[in-house]
Structure 1
Amino acid sequence: MENLELQQLVETISIDLFGKPFKHKAFFNPRLKSTGGRYLLGTHNIEINKKYLEQLGKNELIGIIKHELCHYHLHLEGRGYQHRDADFKSLLKMVGAPRYCNQLPEVKQKRRPSKILLYRCTSCNLVYQRKRKIDTSRYVCGKCRGKLALVKEYLA
């Protein structure tokens, strides 16, 4: 699918679901990384991440288009177009658009396992489990004010 086909699809969805024309540009933006699409307030254009079409299919793309058209039409009408606004939430529900797009499969694979750090008080042997490293020269045991020492670091 190219930009021209995307433009036609957006215009069709706008007329069919919203009963209003889409008078601006819709195009694929290859630089979008963490989102399925975005509505630009200044130009009123809609940018779509092509990876969502390639990896999750046309249904996901249509959901993203519906979502961005909700932003578009509400903004042009001067109503609440942001995610937190009641107007936006009700319009999403009315047209069957998702509030957020699904995560790309390639992003799910990149997720790193979380690291667990175990610290032990040298005085009372109380064990502390943390996800982030702590500066043992600055922090002490909360029970006896003894010195802390890193015991073990492992992946969860």
Structure 2
Amino acid sequence: MTDEELTEIIREISRNVFSRPFRHQAYFNKRLRTTGGRYMLRTHAIEINPASYEKYGFAELEGIIKHELCHYHLHIEGKGYRHADADFRELLDKTRAPRYCRLPAARNRRKRSTLYMYQCLDCRTAYERKIRMNTEKYRCGKCHGRLQIIIK
């Protein structure tokens, strides 16, 4: 689905559900990770996370669009458009828009384990580090002796 098709779908949902026009643009933004969509206050654009649509289908996309259109129409009218505002919660209930969306599974981030082991040449104190350190610049904390890398 293209950005133009997305904009047209949002215009149609805005006309049918809110009985008001959507006069701005909508975009897919694949950099969104923690949310299904967002409404941009300055440009009045709506950005949608394409991963939500790909994983959960049109029904989830429609819910995200309704939620963002609640922000949009209330902001345009000068009413409370934030999640905590009563106007926003009332419009969510009236339009049956979800308060939260399901998110695609987060990317698996590799947990960084201990990669570097250093030892003082004088007192033999061992130091574990996750990040490589410059042994010419840093010294032992106990005796100020030189450090040597043991495990890379």
TM-score by length of 1: 0.67
- Deviation, 1:30, is 1.2
Three-state SS of the structure 2 residue aligned to 1:91 is helix
Is 1:35 paired with 2:29? no
Shift of the alpha carbon at 1:54? 0.3
Are 1:95 and 2:95 an aligned pair? yes
2 CA distance for matches of 1:73 and 1:60?
20
Residue 64 (structure 2) aligns with: 64
Displaced runs of 4 or more, over 3 A = none
SS of residue paired to 2:35: coil
Q: Within 5 A, what are the aligned runs for 1:15-54?
A: 15-54=15-54
* 1:2 Cα deviation from its structure 2 partner: 1.2
Aligned amino acid, residue 81 of structure 1: Y
Alpha-carbon separation, structure 1, partners of 2:47 and 2:53: 13
Q: Which amino acid aligns with 1:55?
A: K
Q: How many residues align?
A: 110
Partner amino acid for 1:103? Answer: L
Cα distance in 1, alignment partners of residues 56 and 86 from structure 2: 29
**Tell me, which stretches of 5 or more residues in structure 1 are unaligned?**
112-156
Partner of 1:129: none
Name the aligned partner's letter for residue 75 of structure 1.
H
Counterpart CA distance in 2 for 1:70 and 1:97 is: 8
Structure 1 CA distance, aligned partners of 2:103 and 2:28?
18
Which residue in the other structure is 1:86 paired with?
A: 86
Structure-2 separation of matches of 1:57 and 1:110: 23
Corresponding residue for residue 145 of structure 2 = none
Give the Cα separation in 1 of the matches to 2:45 and 2:2: 16
Residue 110 of structure 1 and its aligned partner are, at CA, apart by 4.7
Q: In structure 1, what is the Cα distance between the partners aligned to 2:68 and 2:61?
A: 11
Superposition RMSD on alpha carbons, in Å?
1.6
**Structure 2, unaligned runs of 5 or more:** 110-152
The aligned residue for residue 132 of structure 1 is none
Percent identity between the two aligned chains: 55
Partner SS, residue 27 of structure 1: strand
Secondary structure of 2:27 counterpart: strand
